[in-house]
Chain A
């Protein structure tokens, strides 16, 4: 009894202190806002935003609400983070493995890349890619076609516009393909465990993934129309491409800078992971007759991943948070659209900053949860 109380008292005091500190901040903010005639409330989210955004994944213009503008910013942040995470992982893994290559040139090129890019502040790199791109890229009228009918210009990367009929049927067919692949994989695993037979899962999966969507075209009424970009004149020297989907140069520069920067850290995580697996493991695996590919897939990688995942999670989180530097080069992410324009137009600093903080926290925690789940899944299962 005495012991329990002794343990409980410091905890209660700490809790009380925390409540006191938060209470003080809230009270202070309230008093100051009252004194200055500022009202507090989230009602402004329903008001018409009356500003437009350059690039949006959902339908949006100034007649929509601030809440919708928030969603636009959030989706743009998620888009950059998502592409950035994928690209930085690919580059990171390649460079990380390259750093261990016996080839002198490959090894040192990779090492140079890592040391160069991780030691320059990210904001500078973003500016560099953006303004370097703006200087180097041609005006739309001078652009030459890449891959047939895409155009890289100073106003963006114009790609053909895909106009779908019955897009939903197509998406369902892909979903159906994925579900059947999952079922077949678990079935194949059972067969292997029970009978020792290996099914050609890879080929079946690929076949399904191609065949089902193809069927949707033939019998599902799915129809794809591709509109290629054509140069359109706006003024004597002003041109754009229409109709086309344009990836703004701000997005490209941001993704490039974020991926190249974060990839250096991921490359180091990968190198550490592979070097962390003892040499004996590889030799033992080879001695029981596994092919080099099997050695990597079944012995080295599962152990290396356990070392790689936790620090890589940090890098994913960093990348997501760093994407807020987008505001510097006009990419309409959450910070620029919501904590920028919307904040200025409404003047609701506390409300908007609190929402933005909470949003970044939620994104980061979600990534953490996902990565921790994966980490647990590949951890050594002690029986």
Chain B
């Protein structure tokens, strides 16, 4: 009996080491942010302080918008319920600090993806949920119909802490026009100041202009000029250093876009389980083991589509039907002439 003791001990040791290794890799796979989120029971999401169509709270505190839907999709995927989101309204100035300091886990706040933000300050952009560009709004009565009619001395209202401030300078400088920048911390004050006549023009992302126009005293008195002076790919952001969480957010967004591509909607998602097309079956969790890579079950993507809907449904509900931007422009699927093109979920 004692003869085999040595062998037995080594066997136990080897098994123990193997076991330790497997638990170690499992734990590593399950991200810290995911674990914390599941423990808390809600996704912590940073949004704007009120931008209709993107993230806006109604009188009873219900948040809606395409940015909001990204967070809801993540909640549906990791917690099983799209309503388990805690929204934190943030100013442009506060948003990155809130994310890097760990106050929120996703920043979905019409934030432009730029090199310096991605590389420099501890953030990772996971995708684009709205392709935008900076534009100008003026009063109809001014007779201005193009940025070419801007003259020296024009005053422009905008927000601080955004790429808008930088683009504005590039634009006016390249045309040799002197201008007066009036930069506020909050969007509501920008709108109020412009609406009262403090500024000749209001500049921000075109989607923002369209949304804020609805807040003016008389929206019909203002027009958005046709020119676009910059590229503004807006998308959700996460903290650097948790690649699993990053993947979850990225693929939650991608799922919504790909679901539209394959015609899967919140209404028909369940019936798609018996589809002939394996790509569709993968998107509703009826084939493959896509969730395992994130440490999630296999119906994570089905829940996103059922509870939040595909990208087209989200756009229609929040941006088109509210009259903000009925035309999807570049935010149309690549198969329909837009530039929404996501990698395949497989």
B189 in contact (CB, < 8 A)? yes
Is B189's CB under 8 angstroms from A330's CB? Answer: yes
Q: Tell me which residues across on chain A come within 8 A of B143, comparing CB atoms.
A: 235-237
Q: Tell me which residues across on chain A come within 8 A of B121, comparing CB atoms.
A: 38, 346-347
B180 in contact (CB, < 8 A)? yes
Is B122's CB under 8 angstroms from A36's CB? Answer: yes
Closest to A39 in B: B120
B239 in contact (CB, < 8 A)? yes
User: What separation, in Å, do the CA atoms of A232 and B200 have in the docked complex?
Assistant: 14
Given A134-B196, A336-B183; A236-B141 close (CB under 8 Å)? yes
Is A139's CB under 8 angstroms from B153's CB? Answer: no
Is A37's CB under 8 angstroms from B96's CB? Answer: no
Please provide the chain A residues from 153 to 170 with a CB less than 8 Å away from any CB of chain B in the complex: 154-155
Q: Tell me which residues across on chain B come within 8 A of A341, comparing CB atoms.
A: 160-161, 165, 183
User: What separation, in Å, do the CA atoms of A201 and B299 have in the docked complex?
Assistant: 92
Is B198's CB under 8 angstroms from A155's CB? Answer: yes
Q: Tell me which residues across on chain B come within 8 A of A54, comparing CB atoms.
A: 180-183
Is B185's CB under 8 angstroms from A235's CB? Answer: no
Residues 292-329 of chain A: 1 if any B CB is under 8 Å from the residue's CB, otherwise 0? Answer: 00000000000000000000000000000000000111
Is B141's CB under 8 angstroms from A234's CB? Answer: no
Given A36-B122, A236-B143; A53-B181 close (CB under 8 Å)? yes
Q: Tell me which residues across on chain B come within 8 A of A343, comparing CB atoms.
A: 93, 161
Q: How many residues of A contact B (CB 8 A)?
A: 43
User: What separation, in Å, do the CA atoms of A341 and B188 have in the docked complex?
Assistant: 18
B142 in contact (CB, < 8 A)? yes
Q: Tell me which residues across on chain A come within 8 A of B153, comparing CB atoms.
A: 232, 234, 240, 242
Closest to B165 in A: A51
Closest to B154 in A: A234
Please provide the chain B residues from 226 to 272 with a CB less than 8 Å away from any CB of chain A in the complex: 239-241
Task: Tell me if B's interface is mostly helix, strand, loop or mixed.
Answer: mixed
Q: Tell me which residues across on chain A come within 8 A of B239, comparing CB atoms.
A: 36
User: What separation, in Å, do the CA atoms of A54 and B120 have in the docked complex?
Assistant: 27
Closest to B186 in A: A328
Give chain A nearest CB distance to B18 CB in angstroms: 30
Closest to B120 in A: A347
- Identify B192's interface contact among A131, A344, A345, CB under 8 A: A131
A268 in contact (CB, < 8 A)? no
Q: Tell me which residues across on chain B come within 8 A of A329, comparing CB atoms.
A: 184, 189
User: What separation, in Å, do the CA atoms of A346 and B119 have in the docked complex?
Assistant: 11
Closest to A332 in B: B183
Give chain B nearest CB distance to A311 CB in angstroms: 32
Please provide the chain B residues from 187 to 221 with a CB less than 8 Å away from any CB of chain A in the complex: 189, 192-193, 196-198, 200
B117 in contact (CB, < 8 A)? yes
Please provide the chain B residues from 111 to 133 with a CB less than 8 Å away from any CB of chain A in the complex: 116-117, 120-122
Please provide the chain A residues from 118 to 176 with a CB less than 8 Å away from any CB of chain B in the complex: 131, 134-135, 139, 154-155
Is A154's CB under 8 angstroms from B200's CB? Answer: no
Q: Tell me which residues across on chain A come within 8 A of B184, comparing CB atoms.
A: 328-330
Is B142's CB under 8 angstroms from A236's CB? Answer: yes
User: What separation, in Å, do the CA atoms of A36 and B180 have in the docked complex?
Assistant: 37
Q: How many residues of B contact A (CB 8 A)?
A: 50
- Identify A38's interface contact among B100, B144, B165, CB under 8 A: B100
- Identify B142's interface contact among A237, A240, A349, CB under 8 A: A237
Closest to B157 in A: A330
Is B198's CB under 8 angstroms from A134's CB? Answer: yes
User: What separation, in Å, do the CA atoms of A50 and B164 have in the docked complex?
Assistant: 11
Give chain A nearest CB distance to B324 CB in angstroms: 25
A238 in contact (CB, < 8 A)? yes
Is A238's CB under 8 angstroms from B200's CB? Answer: yes
User: What separation, in Å, do the CA atoms of A344 and B185 have in the docked complex?
Assistant: 11
Give chain A nearest CB distance to B102 CB in angstroms: 8
B139 in contact (CB, < 8 A)? yes
B92 in contact (CB, < 8 A)? yes
Is B151's CB under 8 angstroms from A235's CB? Answer: yes
Q: Tell me which residues across on chain B come within 8 A of A134, comparing CB atoms.
A: 192-193, 196-198
Q: Tell me which residues across on chain B come within 8 A of A345, comparing CB atoms.
A: 161, 165-166
User: What separation, in Å, do the CA atoms of A61 and B182 have in the docked complex?
Assistant: 14
Please provide the chain B residues from 71 to 117 with a CB less than 8 Å away from any CB of chain A in the complex: 92-93, 96-97, 100, 116-117
Given A36-B241, A328-B189; A344-B162 close (CB under 8 Å)? yes
Closest to A35 in B: B241
Is B197's CB under 8 angstroms from A344's CB? Answer: no
A96 in contact (CB, < 8 A)? no
Q: Tell me which residues across on chain A come within 8 A of B139, comparing CB atoms.
A: 237
Give chain B nearest CB distance to A329 CB in angstroms: 7
Given A50-B166, A131-B192; A36-B240 close (CB under 8 Å)? yes
B169 in contact (CB, < 8 A)? yes
Given A131-B196, A249-B198, A347-B117; A62-B141 close (CB under 8 Å)? no
Please provide the chain B residues from 145 to 160 with a CB less than 8 Å away from any CB of chain A in the complex: 149-151, 153-155, 157, 160
A115 in contact (CB, < 8 A)? no
Q: Tell me which residues across on chain B come within 8 A of A61, comparing CB atoms.
A: 169
User: What separation, in Å, do the CA atoms of A269 and B136 have in the docked complex?
Assistant: 50
Give chain B nearest CB distance to A156 CB in angstroms: 9
Closest to A53 in B: B181
Given A344-B161, A349-B97; A50-B183 close (CB under 8 Å)? no
- Identify A238's interface contact among B142, B183, B189, CB under 8 A: B142
Give chain B nearest CB distance to A253 CB in angstroms: 11
Q: Tell me which residues across on chain A come within 8 A of B170, comparing CB atoms.
A: 50
Please provide the chain A residues from 211 to 254 with a CB less than 8 Å away from any CB of chain B in the complex: 232, 234-238, 240, 242, 248-250
User: What separation, in Å, do the CA atoms of A250 and B239 have in the docked complex?
Assistant: 37
23 residue pairs bridging A and B, Cβ less than 8 Å apart: A36-B240, A37-B241, A38-B100, A50-B166, A50-B169, A52-B165, A52-B168, A134-B196, A154-B198, A234-B150, A234-B151, A234-B153, A235-B138, A236-B144, A238-B200, A240-B155, A327-B160, A340-B160, A340-B185, A341-B161, A344-B92, A347-B117, A349-B97
- 14 more A-B residue pairs beyond the given contacts A51-B169, A154-B197, with a C-beta to C-beta distance below 8 A: A36-B239, A36-B241, A51-B165, A52-B169, A234-B151, A235-B200, A236-B142, A328-B184, A336-B183, A336-B185, A344-B160, A347-B116, A347-B120, A349-B100
